[in-house]
Structure formats: structure tokens, C-alpha cells
């Protein structure tokens, strides 16, 4: 079966969406129902939401080597099987260290999916359409986050954790046949002769270093800190549960809805952001928008006390985070296209994973020592400081960017 270049991106994005549902559900449900998972302290929440990111740090380089020698289909199939197994385990095991092991296995699965997806996008794009394809890829796999957070939060409030984890695991297994239909068997991630000749060009340049720092901040803020503290933030302000059609809308459900809205618009908004990046004379100046806006919004989130105002602010931040992720990933893939693909994208995925791992871990430590409000003030300081750093960089190196 011949698969078009665009369908390769669509295919791996949809497979990733199915695999990510269990992980997305956990970010909404675990901070609320942590005792039902057999946990005994808040610090264990941070460990479980972080360990899959930490395990990816040594795994990502090995995955890069894997895709240079094995078919893309093989890696994706292995990832789907691991995703189904780990998702099922969340509802079966109530021993902390077993759950830690399962989360580590999920980290391996995500490395296979994420790096494979990025390398596929780089192969089928050029400077004129790369932003759009990055947006398409991120937007489509985000559908899994939508289903996991919205469906997971709602169903757990109405049924049980075991029911939801079993359901998501079965859906993952049912998606296995689509791996043969949507993922090319012959796809291997090999470096071109041109890339081999210039593989070290700009590797330690100030530009690439800034991109990696931005990827670190993006992972920390969007995939780590914000995702793991959303439910506690809502629970702090949301004093009385709402009901709709006899359904209880608790903090987990509301958190799932808010996160799911972002995943719902991403397939449409992210490609548009990508197109703007493709046509922009300076992607770096567009990056300043989410950095400054995000910093201001985090200050507001640290002070808000009205549930309606909170929801409004959270939705605005979700839009800002879509711009942030799409812009950062486009900068990384554009740089990788001119260098050693595997090396640059492995570095990018590693720094994003470091940030995403540190996010929940440090957030819950700060919550226990100080308050949730302090977590958001720290996030605001980080984003605004990075914005200032980029302003300095643009002024000094603008002729090269």
C-alpha cells in the first residue's frame, strides 16, 4: 500500500493520539483521586507524573539509533502495545513502586512515538510548509489528549478508575491494525549525505542553544507544571460541584473539559499558527507573544478567586500554549533540517522531557512547602525572563535569524 507524504504525518499522529489517552487521563484524575490509586502522599503524585519523563532522557538517544536500523512501523507497534499495557495497569495495581515501573514503560513508548513523528515530519517537509505540518502533527495527536482528559475526567467521576483504564487500554489494542494501514513499513530514519557533511554545523551555536532552552521551558510549563496543577487549581476555587443532565461536574471533570477544549481546537488552530510561521519574516518575534502573554496570565492565575474568571483565563492560556508549542517545535525542526536530524531532534526531545519531568515534581514540592499560588508566580517569572533573553538575542543576532 502506497502512503502519501501527508498521510505519513497524519497516520503517525493518529496512532500517537490513541496511545496518549491513558497518560492524558492520569494528569486530570491522579491529583484528585490519588488515594484511590493507593498513594499515601502528594509527593508520590509528582513522582508518578514525572518518572516517565525522566526515563526518556537516557532512552531518547537509543530510540534515535533504533530508527536508523529498524522500520518505523516496528517502533510504533511496540509503542502501542506498551501504551495499552501501562494504561491497564493504572486501574489494577495499587502499589506505588509498581505504578512507577509502569509509568517508566510508558516513557519508553512515548519516546518511540514522539521522535518517530518528528523525524517523519522533517523528511516530508521543506522550509515553505514545515510549520503547517508541525501544527498538523501536534494538533492531530492532541486529539488523544482531548479524549483522555475529557472522557477520563468525566467517566471517573461517574464510574471508576479501573473501568476507564480498561476501556482506554482496549481502544489502544483495537488500534493495532491501523498501524499496518497508516504507518509505512519501509520508513527508516537515515541521515542524508548532505546532513552527514554538515552534521556539526551550528550544533553549539547561540541560536540552537536558545531553541533548546526554550524547549526546556516549554516542556516545564505546558506539559509539566500546568497540566499537573490544573485540577488542584480548579478544586481550590471551585467550591461547589455543578450538575448537568444528572451528571456531576467535579473538579476532575471540569479540568478535563478545559484541557480537552485545547486539544479540540488544536487540529484547526495549530496548522494556522504553523502557516503564519511559514510566512513570517521572523519566527523569533512571534515566539515573544506566548512568552509575554503566558507570563502575564500566570500572574493572573495566581490571584484569581472567581470560577468564571478562572475558566476564562485558563482558556486564553490554552490558546497561548498552542502558539508556544507550535512555534518552539517549528524552530527545532527547521534547525534540524539543516543539521543532523536525529542529533538535533533527540536533543530537542530530551530538553522538553527534562522540563516536563521537572514540572510536576517541582510543582508539588512547592505546593507542599509554600502554596499553589507560588507555583504560578515562579512560572510567570520563568516565561517573562525567557522573553527578555530572546529580546536580547534578537537584537544581537537578528541578522542571522
Statement: residue 316 has pLDDT above 50: yes
User: Regarding predicted confidence, which is higher, 224 or 249?
Assistant: 224
- pTM for this entry: 0.78
Let me know if residue 80 belongs to a domain: yes
Residue 319 pLDDT: 94
Let me know if residue 194 belongs to a domain: no
User: Cα(305)–Cα(319) distance, rounded to whole angstroms?
Assistant: 21
Residue 187 pLDDT: 46
DSSP secondary structure letters along 187-249: ------HHHHHTTTTTTT-HHHHHHHHHHHHHIIIIIIIIHHHHHHHHHHH--S-EEETTEEE
Let me know if residue 381 belongs to a domain: yes
Domain interval for residue 284? 5-184+199-400
Let me know if residue 45 belongs to a domain: yes
User: What percent of the chain clears pLDDT 70, i.e. is strictly above it?
Assistant: 89
User: Regarding predicted confidence, which is higher, 101 or 191?
Assistant: 101
Tens of pLDDT along 255-294? 777 877 887 888 889 999 998 988 887 788 899 999 999 9
Statement: residue 231 has pLDDT above 50: yes
Mean pLDDT for the stretch of residues 187-198: 46
Cell of 242: 455543578
- The overall average pLDDT reported for the chain is 84
Count: domains in the chain: 1
Residue 384 Cα distances to 196, 212, 269, 370, 392, angstroms: 37, 17, 24, 22, 13
**Residue 376 sits in a domain of what CATH number?**
1.20.1250.20
Let me know if residue 193 belongs to a domain: no
Q: How confident is the model at residue 217 (pLDDT cuts 50, 70, 90)?
A: very high
Let me know if residue 126 belongs to a domain: yes
Sign of CA dihedral 144, 148, 151, 153: negative
User: Regarding predicted confidence, which is higher, 229 or 12?
Assistant: 229
Let me know if residue 190 belongs to a domain: no
Cell 520563568, residue located: 382
- Please give the backbone phi and psi of residue 15, each rounded to the nearest 5 degrees, phi first: -65, -45
Let me know if residue 315 belongs to a domain: yes
Identify whether the C-beta of residue 210 lies closer than 8 Å to the C-beta of residue 98: no
Q: Which of 127-141, 225-239, 322-336 has the highest mean pLDDT?
A: 322-336
Residue 388 pLDDT: 95
Rg of the chain taking only CA atoms, in angstroms: 20
User: Cα(226)–Cα(229) distance, rounded to whole angstroms?
Assistant: 5
Statement: residue 196 has pLDDT above 50: no
Amino acid at each position: 500500500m502506497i502512503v502519501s507524504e501527508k498521510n505519513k504525518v497524519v497516520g503517525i499522529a493518529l496512532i500517537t493520539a490513541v496511545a496518549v489517552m491513558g497518560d492524558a487521563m492520569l494528569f486530570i484524575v491522579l491529583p484528585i483521586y490519588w488515594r484511590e490509586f493507593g498513594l499515601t502522599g502528594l509527593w508520590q503524585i509528582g513522582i508518578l507524573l514525572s518518572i516517565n519523563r525522566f526515563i526518556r532522557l537516557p532512552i531518547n538517544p537509543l530510540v534515535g539509533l533504533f530508527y536508523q536500523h529498524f522500520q518505523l512501523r516496528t517502533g510504533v507497534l511496540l509503542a502501542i502495545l506498551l501504551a495499552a499495557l501501562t494504561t491497564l495497569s493504572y486501574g489494577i495495581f495499587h502499589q506505588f513502586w509498581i505504578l512507577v515501573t509502569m509509568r517508566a514503560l510508558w516513557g519508553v513508548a512515548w519516546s518511540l512515538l514522539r521522535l518517530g513523528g518528528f523525524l517523519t515530519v522533517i523528511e516530508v517537509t521543506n522550509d515553505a510548509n514545515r510549520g503547517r505540518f508541525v501544527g498538523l502533527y501536534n494538533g492531530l495527536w492532541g486529539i488523544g489528549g482531548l479524549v483522555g482528559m475529557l472522557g477520563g475526567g468525566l467517566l471517573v467521576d461517574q464510574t471508576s478508575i479501573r473501568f476507564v483504564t480498561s476501556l482506554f487500554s482496549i481502544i489502544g489494542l483495537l488500534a493495532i491494525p491501523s498501524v499496518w494501514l497508516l504507518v509505512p513499513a519501509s520508513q527508516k530514519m537515515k541521515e542524508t549525505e548532505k546532513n552527514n557533511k554538515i552534521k556539526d554545523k551550528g550544533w553549539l551555536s547561540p541560536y540552537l542553544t536558545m531553541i533548546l532552552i526554550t524547549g526546556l521551558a516549554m516542556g516545564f510549563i505546558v506539559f509539566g507544571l500546568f497540566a499537573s496543577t490544573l485540577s488542584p487549581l480548579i478544586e481550590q476555587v471551585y467550591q461547589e460541584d455543578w450538575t448537568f443532565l444528572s451528571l456531576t461536574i467535579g473538579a476532575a471533570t471540569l479540568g478535563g473539559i478545559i484541557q480537552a477544549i485545547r486539544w479540540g481546537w488544536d487540529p484547526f488552530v495549530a496548522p494556522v499558527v504553523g502557516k503564519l510561521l511559514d510566512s513570517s519574516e521572523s519566527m523569533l518575534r512571534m515566539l515573544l507573544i506566548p512568552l509575554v502573554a503566558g507570563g502575564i496570565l500566570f500572574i493572573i492565575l495566581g490571584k484569581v478567586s472567581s470560577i468564571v474568571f478562572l475558566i476564562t483565563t485558563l482558556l486564553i492560556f490554552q490558546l497561548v500554549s498552542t502558539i508556544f508549542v507550535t512555534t518552539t517545535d517549528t524552530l527545532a525542526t527547521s534547525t534540524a533540517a539543516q543539521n543532523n536530524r536525529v542529533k538535533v531532534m533527540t536533543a530537542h526531545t530530551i530538553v522538553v522531557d527534562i522540563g516536563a519531568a521537572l514540572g510536576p515534581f517541582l510543582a508539588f514540592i512547592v505546593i507542599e512547602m509554600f502554596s499553589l499560588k507560588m507555583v504560578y508566580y515562579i512560572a510567570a517569572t520563568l516565561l517573562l525572563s525567557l522573553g527578555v533573553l530572546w529580546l536580547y538575542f534578537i537584537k544581537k543576532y537578528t541578522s542571522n535569524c
